[in-house]
């Protein structure tokens, strides 16, 4: 939840106060850095055994039981780079809330949660107009990180989950 100095990533940059910071959680999947709004991230857990389930979306790795709730696990290597991540105990599960859904993202590592000043990121529309899944590109110490809009980026996986729940 934004405070007076932190903003949500879906607010156009030109509408932001001059000193507003964007709060993001940066993670690695494959060869690149990615990030989500920190407000959507609930927990980071060690990678654990995942129960495979039949599915249509290639990025769905399976499900886990998290404190009595069954949560889908999305392989961010497959989602972002079309290559599945190895099943490595050193990897992490980043649990995020997307709308009314909770999902776990299989990532190689969670790098940091940072506040990014307006000069430290660019809106995607200014660089690549029409890409709705990306909100912006963050300039960070280890390179560039793609900032995803979770409401749009996980449409395929959440649509499959909603369809399965209706059956």
Which neighbouring-strand residues pair with 66?
A: 69
Closest CA to 59 of 70, 50, 72: 72
Distance CA(72)–CA(64), nearest Å, equals 7
Domain-embedded: residue 141: yes
Does 3 reside within a domain?
A: no
Task: Please give the pLDDT value at position 82.
Answer: 87
Domain that residue 151 falls in: 19-166
| Range with lowest mean pLDDT among 43-52, 84-93, 116-125 | 116-125
What value does the mean pLDDT take over residues 92-97?
A: 96
Could you tell me where the DSSP H helices lie in 33-154? 76-81, 124-127, 150-153
The pLDDT, as a whole number, for residue 4 is 38
| Count: domains in the chain | 1
Residue 2 located in a structural domain = no
**Which CATH number covers residue 126?**
2.40.50.180
Q: What is the pLDDT of residue 14?
A: 61
Name every residue whose Cβ is closer than 8 Å to that of residue 97 and which is 6 or more positions away in sequence. 40, 42
Residue 3 clears pLDDT 50, i.e. is over it: no
What pLDDT is recorded for position 166?
Answer: 53
Kindly state the percentage of the chain with pLDDT values over 90: 54
pTM score, whole prediction:
0.83
In a domain, 56, yes or no: yes
Rg (CA), the chain: 16
Domain membership of residue 59 (yes or no) is yes
Would you say residue 7 lies in a domain? no
Give domain status of residue 74, yes or no: yes
């Amino acid at each position: 939840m934004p405070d007076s100095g932190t903003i949500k990533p879906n607010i156009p940059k030109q509408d932001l106060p001059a000193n507003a910071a964007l709060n993001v959680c940066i993670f690695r999947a494959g060869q690149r850095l990615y990030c989500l709004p920190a407000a959507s991230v609930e927990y980071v857990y060690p990678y654990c055994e995942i129960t495979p389930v039949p599915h249509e979306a290639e990025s769905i790795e399976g499900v886990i039981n998290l404190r009595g709730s069954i949560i889908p696990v999305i392989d961010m290597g497959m989602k972002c780079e079309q290559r599945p991540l190895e099943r490595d105990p050193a990897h992490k599960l980043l649990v995020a809330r997307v709308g009314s859904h909770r999902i776990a993202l299989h990532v190689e590592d969670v790098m940091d949660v940072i506040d990014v000043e307006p000069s430290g990121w660019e809106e995607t529309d200014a660089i690549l107009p029409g890409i709705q899944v990306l909100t912006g590109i963050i300039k960070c110490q280890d390179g560039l990180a793609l900032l995803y809009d979770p409401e749009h980026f996980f449409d395929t996986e959440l649509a499959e989950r909603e369809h399965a729940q209706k059956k």
